[in-house]
Amino acid sequence: AAASAAPAVAAPVPTELDTAGLTAWLAAAAEAEVAVTVTVETGMPARLGLATTDAAVESRWSEETAEALRPWLESESPKVLADAKPQVKALRRAGVRLRGLVFDPILAGWLLRPSFPDKSLGDLVDRYLDEKLPEADPTQLVPETEGATPGQLSWYILRVTEAMRGELPASVAAVLEDIELPTLDTLADMELAGVAVSHEKLSGFSAELGARADAVAQLAYAEIGREVNLGSPKQLQEVLFEQLELPKTRKTKTGYSTDAAVLADLQESNPHPFLDLLLQHREATKLRQIIESLDTSIGNDRAAGEDGRIHTTYVQTGSQTGRLSSTDPNLQNIPIRNEESRRIRAAFEVGAGYETLLTADYSQIEMRIMAHLSADEGLIEAFNSGEDLHRFVGARVFGVDPGDVTPAMRTKVKAMSYGLVYGLSAFGLSKQLRIEQAEAKLLMTEYFARFGAVRDYLRSSVAQARIDGYTETIFGRRRPFPDLASPNRVLRENAERAALNAPIQGSAADIMKIALFRIHDELRERELRSRILLQIHDELVVEVAPGEWDAVERIVHDRMGDAAELSVPLDVQIGRGENWDVAGH
């Protein structure tokens, strides 16, 4: 441990260079891989640190630096940046489009350890070099140790990169290079573009929800004859389990659970008017919080000025499956496909100077990946027949003509098909469909009798993951599952369910990212003004410039359709409209 306290190799003292010196240094470094660190202040570059394996240099950023270094920064000369996206964005604001990014150790670290990614360069230096990155102590007013300078950070980045390359399996290195780095470049443009959102629509809806929550609260108080704090678990426990004498729920440290799912179950088994009102109140207040977080985010990106747009930040390393998440504000938590969500989506509008929004999403992408991976002839035939998937499957399972599949039958096979991908048990299926467990079991038996290759694939993929210790997507993204060998049954079964789903959900995430950056690159290559704004769930939102609809629609449709070679077609649905709700078909 003593060895790791002091750096085994002292970081070089960086040379401060002027613009001419930087240009000369880069010319001498010629084809070497150079690590770059841009310190960002209020969204703009402030300092620049560069390093090769044996030297580090740095400089204050100025317009002169930008002009002198532009040819190199915009060339394909290989560059390595850690947590590159904010730096790429700062350079773009300064008029420079960085190219030649070949490695980002933060992204690589997440691909290697998606469940416990190392969040910072310091973590990576510790793990891969067994050294300590010099960092200023944030708790000291006058820090005893100076933090690493931009030049020294770049030197550490290069060394960490060398160490990590040795540990990256070829398939994972390909995911970094062919999927994640081009996606990073696209996300930087999407974040800078932002999306136009109507403050009037959001604040109007928020006020309505506030009034609704107040009215529901008054009714709830009348039901129990007193006022309580509907947001306090302690007071709710007292009302539900003592005053109303409802059956007690799951035990927690502070009494009995009052979380939403538990109360919804309780309302089903022991309906009570107060419970119903409480759930309505929760729904209204939760929605209102989502709307207010969106509303306060409009035009608060200082570097973009008050532009009436929301600039979310996409987190590439935010999930274990490879899906993107977003923050400040979180756009992934906008509810999907109910009346309330439609009103929120209607506030996302086409911006000034643009003609319309285009939305595009994949229909049933996970089931299509399942058909491809399992090579199940019945499922492949379902997709190639052009018949409605769930009607086709329902006809097989229930032994009737497709025309005779009732809505109830369709609902059952749909729940079954999607449930399989998440390792749903007969018990889970019976609960979801509100049918007897025996009927659920029979349904599963009938399903697997017709689609046996699906069951065999799911079984074999978990068995293979047990041998390998990880699952893999079609493109080679890995997700480790150490708990598959756990002696703890709960941990092991959770890992089995996640391992069933990881190759399917991960492949869907990969396909969406490939489509995303290919559309972005093609719009730029063809010098179109239209631009991708959002990627949420399985959907893309594009802002279309006047006169460009036909070209953009074709690019989006084709690039989403050919993002992967599957044994069944990728079906893409496109909509248009002046706001996200109208455009979402």
Q: What is the CATH number of the domain that holds 398?
A: 1.10.150.20
Cα 251 to chain centroid distance, Å, stands at 33
389 and 502 in a single domain? The answer is yes
pTM, 2 dp: 0.91
> What letter represents residue 521's amino acid?
D
Per-residue pLDDT tens over the stretch 94-129: 999 999 999 999 999 999 999 887 889 999 999 999
| Residue that finishes a domain, picked among 506, 535, 557 | 506
Q: Which runs of consecutive H residues, i.e. helices, occur in 388-451?
A: 389-398, 407-421, 426-433, 437-450
Structure tokens at 293: 């977080």
| Residue that finishes a domain, picked among 151, 168, 185 | 168
Per-residue pLDDT, 145 = 63
Q: What is the CATH number of the domain that holds 519?
A: 3.30.70.370
128 and 35 in a single domain? The answer is yes
Complete DSSP assignment for 100-159: -EEE-HHHHHHHH-TTS---SHHHHIIIII--------TT-SS-SSPPPPHHHHHHHHHH
CB 366 within 8 A of CB 418: yes
299 and 376 in a single domain? The answer is no
Structure tokens at 378: 């019945």
Range of the domain at 536: 321-331+349-363+509-583
234 and 380 in a single domain? The answer is no
Cα 184 to chain centroid distance, Å, stands at 12
Peptide bond into 45 cis (omega under 30): no
Task: Look at residue 185 and tell me if it is in a domain.
Answer: no
Does 4 score more than 50 pLDDT?
no
Cβ contacts of 99 within 8 Å, gap of 6 or more: 73, 74, 75, 76
Structure tokens at 227: 């006022």
**Among 256-260, 454-458, 468-472, which is the least confidently predicted range?**
256-260
Nearest to 244 by CA among 281, 280, 279, 273: 273
262 and 121 in a single domain? The answer is no
520 and 388 in a single domain? The answer is no
- Burial tier of 126 (Cβ tally within 10 Å: 0-12, 13-18, 19+): middle
101 and 230 in a single domain? The answer is no
Per-residue pLDDT, 2 = 41
Task: Look at residue 528 and tell me if it is in a domain.
Answer: yes
Q: What is the CATH number of the domain that holds 223?
A: 1.20.1060.10
Q: What is the CATH number of the domain that holds 17?
A: 3.30.420.10
488 and 382 in a single domain? The answer is yes
3 band by pLDDT with thresholds 50, 70 and 90: very low
Provide the domain count of the chain. 4
222 and 303 in a single domain? The answer is yes
163 and 223 in a single domain? The answer is no
233 band by pLDDT with thresholds 50, 70 and 90: confident
Per-residue pLDDT, 301 = 67
